[in-house]
Amino acid sequence: MAGKRKSGKKPAAGGGRAGGYCPLGDAVRAGIRQVIDAQGRLTGDLPEPDLDRDTLIRLYEMMVLVRAIDERGWVLQRSGRVEFWIPHKGLEAVHIAATMAFARNDWIFLGYRHPGALLLRGAALVQLFAQFFGRRDEPFKGRRLPTLMGDRRLNVVPMTTQVGSYIPHACGAAWGAKIKGDDTRFLTFFGDGATSRGEFHSALNFAGIFKPPVVFICENNGWAVTTPASAQTASRTFAQKGDAYAVRNLRVDGNDPLAVYAAAREARDLAAKEAPSLIEAVTYRLGFHTSSDNPDLYREPEEVEEWAAWDPLIRTCKYLERKGYWGKRQEADLWTRCTRDIDAAVEQAEAMPLPDPASMFDDTFEQMTWMLEEQKAALLGDLERCS
């Protein structure tokens, strides 16, 4: 089941027409809430959210910037300047629209494909690139895998790398806020693969009982490394897993930022009224799982092509054009601006100092254990010998 999926096979539940890979063309039948179609037309079952021109443009500009970051990150990794890369191409709409639907002081527990959340909160581009380059003066002091980003000053919690492990953290933090009686809401992103972890179920069970102000967004991007969503669960949808725990749930078109925004906005409002939500955002990872992956070994190029036709950037751009908010010139300017800003951030971040190797032992235990002390001494000895 987990093997290579051949074209012509029975389409996944809720699958669309064409090759049967992408259900977004037949969203209603698949129970996927939608605002716009592939051409940016208002054809969906969800009403168009009430967003002004500036906000819509900001949304789209962020999606483009985030796409441009992915393209640059990939090149930097392949040319040996960044150690590792986790692509997010095709997933921009989910985290950007959802972050915009939440208030500035709400807490976000990130996955690893969500740079837009930080940028929307005001993090500078150079801070992100300093993280990618593992430089000393970024919030994690250059210690984390590139793209495992966050910033506590911005109420954005970085991912703990164990898949799904942080879902209960988000839930528990939300419960804490509820007990304290403050009005903060909590948002967390995780993948389809994470729903097979016990932590997902613990957190949803807890949420169903104690009703903390939390919104769970399951970014169903079709794959968990090499495992297709069809082999991840025998349930019809990931959303319906909420039913087991009496957690309100729905499926939205994750490549439609308007649908994501509408769903996240409503969920945020309900979160304060004892109704946490599980939103399954149906989307697709157009890129590699990580820079260490090779998707040619497990998925069909037709599948990628079919989903690429539902690229959230293209759809949003067309929607904005239809509204008369956007045109070819703005589009070209935007890309130029993004490239220029990224160039500057790359140059600045790469010139920043690397962390002192000995500092990797800091911030672990309040008092360093004998084992760490030995390791530190051994490392310093090695470095001494090598220099």
Q: Which residues are the active-site residues? A: 285, 289, 298
Position 225 contacts ligand TPP (CB under 6 A): yes
Residue 382: which of ligand TPP, another protein, none does it interact with, CB under 5 to 8 A by kind? another protein
Q: Which of residues 61-90 bind another protein (CB under 8 A)?
A: 72, 75-81, 84
Are 85 and 77 in contact, with CB atoms under 8 Å apart? Answer: yes
Residue 194: which of ligand TPP, another protein, none does it interact with, CB under 5 to 8 A by kind? ligand TPP
Integer CA distances (angstroms), 310 to 73, 116, 150, 318, in order? 23, 20, 29, 12
CA distance 274 to 210: 8
Q: How many CA atoms lie within 13 A of 341 on its CB side?
A: 19
Choice from 161, 292, 359, 369 touching ligand TPP (CB under 6 A): 161
Of 40 and 146, CB closest to ligand TPP? 146
Position 39 contacts another protein (CB under 8 A): no
Residue 346: which of another protein, ligand TPP, none does it interact with, CB under 5 to 8 A by kind? another protein
Q: Smallest distance from the beta carbon of 83 to ligand TPP, in angstroms? A: 16
Q: Smallest distance from the beta carbon of 323 to ligand TPP, in angstroms? A: 31
Which residues are registered as beta bridge partners of 251? 32, 280
Backbone angles phi, psi at 278, to 5 degrees: -115, 115
CB-count burial class (<10 Å; 0-12, 13-18, 19+) for 347: exposed
- Among residues 241, 308, 307, which one has the least CA distance to residue 16? 307
Choice from 99, 155, 291, 316 touching another protein (CB under 8 A): 291
CA distance 94 to 92: 6
Choice from 30, 145, 163, 247 touching ligand TPP (CB under 6 A): 163
- Among residues 240, 326, 273, which one has the least CA distance to residue 60? 326
Of 3 and 370, CB closest to another protein? 370
* Footprint on this chain of ligand TPP (rule: CB under 6 A): 113, 161-163, 190-194, 221, 223-225, 285, 289
